[in-house]
Amino acid sequence: MPTRYHRFAGSSLDRLAALSDGVFAVAMTLLVLDLKAPSVPKRAQGPIWSGSGGGSEHVLSHGLLHDVVPRLLPYVMSFLTLGIFWVGQQTQLQSFTRSNRALTWLHLSFLFAVTLLPFSTGLLAQDTTYRLSIAVYWLNLSALGLMLFLSLRYAEHAGVISEDTTEDMRAAMARRIVVYQGLYALAALTCLINTYVALGLLVALQVNAVVAPRIWILDRA
């Protein structure tokens, strides 16, 4: 019977955590594929002191500055993003006593959003002046935060949160998601003024989440 199957399907937290680790590892690896080495003509044969490779060196430096460096910012930002959300998901999983079919599918939906981040990063890296690219990236961040928030609320409703996870800890997890999602939205809105400002604010938020300095509402989150 389907109802009996649903009672025990997807109940392993260990298997869910292992799958999540694998998905995050692949997504983090795919990010770097967008960083391509610039094409440089072969160095002309000749004595080292002849300077015959000067033209190639110039082409290489130009390619690094104009093709690679602009893509580094979205790459670093997305790598930090995946690290932050991996920590957030692992924190949630460690606070659960068990899983069930619905909770597992919520986390699979979260992992679906994780797999989309290399795409939204690549879109953003193509041209950081496009507001639509910022909007797509923000939607990706919103999907990640939404699924984690729904997971936490469902776990509370289903009674699968461990007794060691206090009310203050639950509130802190929920508050962190809500505060940062609000700040992500505000940062993305600044693309209406300047896309580089929006990117700078998003990077600053991710660095803050990693370093965790004691700053006003960010410290509370």
Question: Per the domain annotation, does 183 fall within a domain?
Answer: yes
Question: Per the domain annotation, does 44 fall within a domain?
Answer: no
Question: Per the domain annotation, does 65 fall within a domain?
Answer: yes
- pTM (2 decimals)? 0.82
pLDDT per position as a tens digit, 188-221: 999 999 999 999 999 999 998 888 755 555 555 5
Inter-axis angle of helices 69-95 and 195-211, nearest 10: 40
Residue 105 clears pLDDT 90, i.e. is over it = yes
User: How many residues in total does the chain contain?
Assistant: 221
User: Which has more confidence, 59 or 18?
Assistant: 18
State the pLDDT confidence band at 5, using cuts at 50, 70 and 90.
very low
Number of domains in the chain: 1
Q: CB-hemisphere CA count at 13 Å for 47?
A: 2
| Two structure tokens written together for 92 | 């949630």
Domain coverage including residue 131: 11-34+50-220
Question: Per the domain annotation, does 45 fall within a domain?
Answer: no
3-state secondary structure of 78: helix
Question: Per the domain annotation, does 41 fall within a domain?
Answer: no
Question: Per the domain annotation, does 199 fall within a domain?
Answer: yes
Cα distance between residue 98 and residue 135, in whole Å: 36
Q: Which helix (H) or strand (E) holds 53?
A: none
Question: Per the domain annotation, does 151 fall within a domain?
Answer: yes
Question: Per the domain annotation, does 192 fall within a domain?
Answer: yes
Q: Which helix (H) or strand (E) holds 132?
A: helix 131-158
pLDDT per position as a tens digit, 49-91: 444 555 677 666 655 565 666 678 888 899 999 999 999 999 9
Residue 178 clears pLDDT 50, i.e. is over it = yes
Phi, psi of 80 (to 5 degrees): -65, -40
